[in-house]
Chain A
Amino acid sequence: MSARPLRVVGHPVPRVDAIEKVTGRARYVTDLTVPGMAHAKVLRSPYAHARVTRVDVTRARARPGVFAALAGADLTWCDPYYGPAYRDRPVLAIEVARYEGEPVAAVAAVDEATAEEALELVDVDYEPLAAAMTLEEALAPGAPLVHAGQPPAGHFADLATLRPRPGTNVCHQFQFARGDAAAALAGADVVVEDVYRFPPVQHVALEPHAVVAAWDETGALTLWASTQNPYSVRVELAKMFDVPLARIRVVVPHLGGGFGSKTYAKLEPLAATLARAAGRPVRLAASIPEAFQTVRRCASRVAARAGFRRDGTLVAVECEADYDVGAYADIGPRVVQKGTYTATGPYRVPHVKLDARAVYTNTTPGGAFRGFGVPQLAWALESLFDTAADRLGRDPVDLRRQNFLAHGEEFAPGDTPIDGKLEESLGRAAEAIGWMQAPAAGRGRGVAAMLKASVAPSVSEAIVRLHADGSVTVLASAVEMGQGTRTVLAQIAAEVLSVPLARVTVVQPDTAVTPYDQTTSSSRSTAMTGRAVQVAAEDVRDQLLAIAARHLGVAARELALAEGAVVAPARRLTYAEALALNFGMTGGELIGRGVIAPGRTAAPLGGSTPFWEMAVGAAEVSVDEETGAIRVERYVSVADVGRAINPLLLEGQDEGGVVQGLGHTLLEEMLYADGHLLNGTLLTYRVPRADDAPEDLECRFVENADGSGPFGAKGAGEGSLIPVSPAVANALARLTGVRLRDLPLSPERVWRALRARSPRA
């Protein structure tokens, strides 16, 4: 039965939501209208750090058409703090505003224009305070403190060990060591070290955050939210309003992109608060500039050292990583911890010493962004690897291959053994880019590899229902944000139950209907939610087989599912017939349940990763020596995915990851000056356009069916982004001899470095 060829899984079928999306029928939060809905607008702090001495909303409240106007001090009827790591973030600033753009007051009114006008009637007095805008400023002795005192812990399981440093801006320090790194470095033949910087960048999901919140007559709360984790949002709101989880319903329509920006509660607490105060549903839709004031990637400064023996063996890595998590922790401490845990990349390193700090600054809160802390460290390590190859007189591909962890090898005691073959990815990437042949004149090539753990422990549950006509409903809470999870989950159910894809419906996440799923992030949905759907579908399959066995008088092991029917050696029962026999009528359904919950383990972070995400990138670049502009002419990404459930969608994901990676590699940086963000709009913050993408872009996969997910799949989607920066910088170094350590590799930086290398008159 298990040996039959796959009919749906592994095939490049078009997305199940493609038609609704190309016809404009797909509904996103901002497309929804709820009867009686009011519209909210937010007044934000103009200062990076200020004491808020007075907020008076009286005049705003009195304006005709205004249903509610709130300031932080008004929120005595709920717990106004939230946050997944620390509950350090007030819904509206209380006494202190900690970053430019922090919500200080909010209005709900009959329409957006009225709400906007009412904001002008809010009177606020600020006393500006000294601000810590950068890692250097925040870590300096006597630095302005972003937070005084220790904030209460949030709800994230593996953050029970959060270690803030009271009296400083360090909100979490993570240390990890094995062996004796100092001694190993002292004894190494070649030691390379440098400091690498990664800029603050924004996700720029084309759909900014949006939510509609409505309290009903029974005191239950419903939200339609653009969130990647409805269940996490539910926890935050239950705490804030002291309402049972069962009375909070979070519904998630299509997301217009996420990339981590919509993980954990963002605008939902404010919308729910306003809706409660207004006594009617409230819609809060952010603008793109407001998204820049909501979340960004954690900027970093990574000082790394790597020691090699003369024969190329990597013996030690030391790394001090400081991440700028902004004014509120959000999930920043976990970004720091998870990212740093795999600072040694996909390599065998006997001696390791890692020391990372999450540092508060008076800037937009830093949180999850595709790669979750790993791009910052891979930027350092993968650049150092090429520097080491130069020093050792080795080929960078060879040197990596020599030091890769092997399939089945331990990464860290207690954690999942390595479940992929990175040498295969590297070999295919090198071959595709033509590594063994010299590049054309004016072209340079570089490679980089990555390894990332997924969130652990984590839980995914799914329900699969087989209806009287043989059609199937999948209930799961993985959020469709463009990555194609609805299609993949439908394919998995269709495969197990042997029905056409068109007979499967995947319901949109709704915490009142679809079962628990921890988060749509960490590349986990295919592996974890997909596995839960597979188990639930197998549960239905087993019920079908038992019914057929009973009614046909045949042993279940002699039965199989094929084309919507249970097939016995001499007979065939359609699902409709099987259900009718079972229930004695046309009606009733079979319900299957799948729970994937690996639980805690002895692994260093408290849970074993369900899979390792591994990939290799290879870039071929040219550079305009007059302007310093880098052009990525060709790019190859090879990801070790176990099995591509849908190669078409996966290819799309990885192509997008590469181009998004080119954003922070070549173009993107949130620039601050004098306490202000200078470029928080799409007019001034440049993301890759169609003509920035490499014309020759190939995304390939290694498929050995060696993952713990359905049909041997592993997670994917982040892996293609992570090697981009070091692969491009390594290519630039091999082409020009110039090694850059700060991203983005802007024309100005490259031009200055080229000039410093060969000064002209």
Chain B
Amino acid sequence: MTIHTVVNGRPHDLDVAPHALLLDVLRDTLDLKGAKRSCDTQVCGACTVLVDGLAVSACTYLAVEADGRSVLTVEGLAEGESLHPLQRAFVEAGAVQCGFCTAGMLLTAKAMLSEHDRPTRADVLHYLRGSLCRCTGYRKIVDAVLAAAETRS
């Protein structure tokens, strides 16, 4: 079936199978490899993308559900070569190690920031419960999100 969806600001008419997962459509059809496949069960957050601003696990989200909606992946976060404040904060705080969780972390944090003007540490921890990182001790990620919130306000 054909869906109309906007991905990172570009409109697409996509022919997708009814059971196709958003993650596969993004990665294989649109060649957007930033969202990662890991747990396949909505636990790890590596595949997180935003659909109409809400964080979803693309590994368990049907592509057809994105019909008429707007999808943001990590590739759409920067404005050209100018990094999003979250991206800059992650780089500067050392919040990136292997990078496999990074896209999901960034997009989850973006969703959080859209709901919290001045997030507390507890707000950040609450949102990041759905995003696993096995490299960092999370501290630098939390610090980066708080720093980005700070620069924004």
Minimal beta-carbon separation of B50 from chain A (angstroms): 13
Give the segment of A14-22, A151-159, A301-309, A504-512 that binds chain B: A14-22
CB of B106 within 8 A of CB of A22, answer yes
Q: Report A-chain residues with C-beta under 8 Å of the C-beta of B113.
A: none
Which A638-661 residues sit within 8 Å CB-CB of chain B? 648-649, 651-660
- B38 A21 Cβ-Cβ under 8 A: no
Cβ-defined partner of B90 (8 Å) among A22, A205, A208, A660: A22
Contact with B74, one of A24, A688, A691 (Cβ below 8 angstroms): A24
A259 lies within 8 A of B102 (CB): no
Interface string of A3-22 (1 = CB under 8 A from B): 00000000010110111111
Contact of B129 among A14, A255, A691 (CB under 8 A): A691
Q: A256-B99, A482-B99 are in contact. Are A695 and B121 (CB under 8 A)?
A: yes
Q: Is the interface of A mostly helix, strand, loop or mixed?
A: loop
In the bound complex, what is the Cα–Cα distance between A660 and B43 (angstroms)? 17
Chain A's nearest CB lies how many Å from the CB of B149?
A: 15
Query: Distance (Å) between the CB of B103 and the closest chain A CB?
Result: 5
Q: Is A311 interfacial (CB-CB < 8 Å)? A: no
Q: With an 8 A cutoff between CB atoms, is A237 at the interface?
A: no
Are the C-beta atoms of B73 and A208 separated by less than 8 Å?
no
Contact A288 B38 (CB under 8 A): yes
State whether B136 touches A652 (Cβ < 8 A).
yes
Across the interface, do A682 and B41 meet the contact criterion of CB distance under 8 Å? yes
- Tell me whether B132 and A687 are in contact (CB under 8 A): yes
Q: Are A21 and B33 in contact (CB under 8 A)?
A: no
Measured CA separation A693–B124 after assembly (Å) = 13
Decide: A24 and B134 in contact? CB cutoff 8 A. no
Chain B min CB distance to A521 (Å)? 15
Q: Are A257 and B98 in contact (CB under 8 A)?
A: yes
A429 contacts partner chain B, Cβ-Cβ < 8 Å: no
B28: nearest residue on chain A (CB-CB)?
A33
> What number of A-B contacts does a CB cutoff of 8 Å give?
170
Evaluate contact between B98 and A690: CB separation under 8 angstroms.
no
Contact A656 B135 (CB under 8 A): yes
A725 at the interface (CB under 8 A from B): no
The answer to whether A288 and B40 have CB atoms under 8 Å apart is: yes
Beta-carbon contact of A257 and B134 below 8 Å? yes
A689 to B142, CA, bound (A): 12
Contacts of A687 in B (CB 8 A): 132, 134
CB neighbours of B91 from chain A (8 A): 14-15, 18-19, 22
Q: Which chain B residues border A257 with CB–CB below 8 Å?
A: 98, 100, 134-135
A697 within 8 A of B: yes
Residues of B within 8 A of A691 (CB): 125-126, 128-129
Could you tell me the distance in whole angstroms from the C-beta of B33 to the nearest C-beta in chain A?
A: 4
Is B140 in the interface zone, CB < 8 Å from A?
yes
Considering the complex, give the chain A residue whose CB is closest to the CB of B131.
A690
- A206 near B38 (CB under 8 angstroms)? yes
Contact A259 to B134, CB < 8 A, known contacts A22-B87, A206-B44, A206-B46: yes
Give chain B's interface residues, CB within 8 Å of chain A.
27, 32-41, 43-44, 46, 73-75, 77-78, 83, 87, 90-92, 94, 96-103, 106, 121, 124-126, 128-129, 131-142
